[in-house]
Amino acid sequence: MRNTLNARRTSISRRSFFRKGLAAAGMATTAGLLSRSSSFAKEGPEEKSGSLTKGDAAILRFLAAAEILETDFWVQYNELGGIPDSEVPGGSGNQAYTSALTVLDTDMAQYIHDNTEDEFTHQNFLNAYLVSKGADPVNLDRFKTLPGSLATGSSKTLRITNLTELTVDTSWWTRYRSRTKNPDFGDTFPQAIPTLAVGMHTAIPRTDDDTADANFLQAIANTAAFHFPTIEQGGTSLYPSLAQRVTDPEVLRIVLSIGPTETAHFQTWHDKAGNAPQVTAVDPVTHVSVTFPDLNSPPFGGEDFQTNLIMPEPCPFISRSLPVCSIIRPTETAGVAMGVARFLTNMGLFRGQPQEFFAALSDLAEDADEAHRNLA
């Protein structure tokens, strides 16, 4: 996330370029899309804040959007690898994919179900709270345009998020094991699964063809198992980062009460990812290769990779002259919403969405990043 924040700070000149040069449509890199959208932000009608401060409403709206996006992809995981039921309806389960996930832990389906239900409640609560205060909620239904999985078990409904072309940044693995570095000091961290951090990988069976080869199917399940904590560690940082700029005590209570459930998810998935079996596979459709190594043996291993070190190691916090502390990291508040929007975009979660989607997401993020504590 730090890298994307840095990218934002250096993007001012690029932003003005995009403002002037919208015709450069061929330059529709994800960064460009997010930067360029600032020219849209000032044009749309201002959202209503009701009795909330403008900043609090903007923070809650960005969180609602993030939760809608989380819900959208967790539902896809639940349809195929979770437990479709009355609590989390949709789909009918994919036995082969579910079995491959079970290799990591026999409770994977239950955890996927429960994580999915949690996201539903986050999304529903945040939007309902906004409405209860006379503020505008968030609705991203118009972006349900992506086909999703066509494999057995999928409801085959249209989706906002794309789980079939992911590039997964697994540096959180070493970030939470480091005793000397903190991303808020600008430190960077090596990948746990380097091949997952480049190229595009599917985390769900795209069609039933993807479940035919057990080796490739395990690689898909492992990809999902690393995508879960990658997402949830992002939520784990997002909530405390935004909390620092909330004004109303009740809104602060909401942000401080939802955030740690993201941490509960992260902690669980962090543990399960460490159980991913060693496998190397080549995607038969894209020919992209992925390798899940033994993280406990050279060239990995040691404290930075050891799989059972799932609790945050203490690290420098606030100042390197203070004692190290076991903490969530990063929690820098400046630019965090746009940083998260970029983090999700760079992950490939929105591949296939039109420019309008990135403009809308960027608009929500910019408004949240403009929020400040109003102590008057």
CB 104 within 8 A of CB 272: yes
Lay out the site mask for Fe ion across 309-348 (x = CB under 5 A, - = otherwise).
----------------------------------------
Position 240 contacts Fe ion (CB under 5 A):
no
Please tell me the distance from the alpha carbon of residue 135 to that of residue 303, in angstroms, as a whole number: 47
Please tell me the distance from the alpha carbon of residue 204 to that of residue 197, in angstroms, as a whole number: 17
CB 221 within 8 A of CB 275: no
* Phi, psi (degrees; rounded to nearest 5) at 317: -150, 135
* Phi, psi (degrees; rounded to nearest 5) at 266: -55, -45
Decide whether 295 or 336 has the Cβ nearer to Fe ion: 336
Q: Kindly report the CA angle at 147 between 279 and 238, in degrees rounded to 5?
A: 70
In the bound complex, what is the minimum distance in angstroms from residue 239's beta carbon to Fe ion?
A: 9
CB 33 within 8 A of CB 228: no
Q: Which stretch binds Fe ion (CB under 5 A): 15-23, 48-56, 113-121, 240-248?
A: 113-121
Please tell me the distance from the alpha carbon of residue 10 to that of residue 28, in angstroms, as a whole number: 18
List the interface residues with Fe ion, window 40-79 (CB under 5 A): 67, 70
Decide whether 8 or 122 has the Cβ nearer to Fe ion: 122
In the bound complex, what is the minimum distance in angstroms from residue 32's beta carbon to Fe ion?
A: 28
Position 122 contacts Fe ion (CB under 5 A):
yes
Please tell me the distance from the alpha carbon of residue 4 to that of residue 234, in angstroms, as a whole number: 13
**Selected binder of Fe ion within 72, 119, 210, 332 (CB under 5 A):** 119
Cβ-based neighbours of 52, under 8 Å, separated by 6 or more:
60, 130, 133, 135, 248, 251
**Selected binder of Fe ion within 248, 262, 283, 304 (CB under 5 A):** 262
Task: Report which residue's Cβ sits closest to Fe ion.
Answer: 122
Residue in the block written with tokens 């995508």:
227
Angle at which helices 249-273 and 54-81 cross, to 10°: 30
Decide whether 56 or 232 has the Cβ nearer to Fe ion: 232
Note if the bond before 299 is cis, omega within 30 degrees.
yes
Decide whether 290 or 341 has the Cβ nearer to Fe ion: 341
**Selected binder of Fe ion within 55, 82, 235, 293 (CB under 5 A):** 235
Q: Which stretch binds Fe ion (CB under 5 A): 119-127, 136-144, 173-181, 279-287?
A: 119-127
Decide whether 115 or 178 has the Cβ nearer to Fe ion: 115
Decide whether 232 or 332 has the Cβ nearer to Fe ion: 232
Lay out the site mask for Fe ion across 173-202 (x = CB under 5 A, - = otherwise).
------------------------------
In the bound complex, what is the minimum distance in angstroms from residue 279's beta carbon to Fe ion?
A: 26
Binding site for Fe ion (CB under 5 A): 67, 70, 119, 122, 232, 235, 262
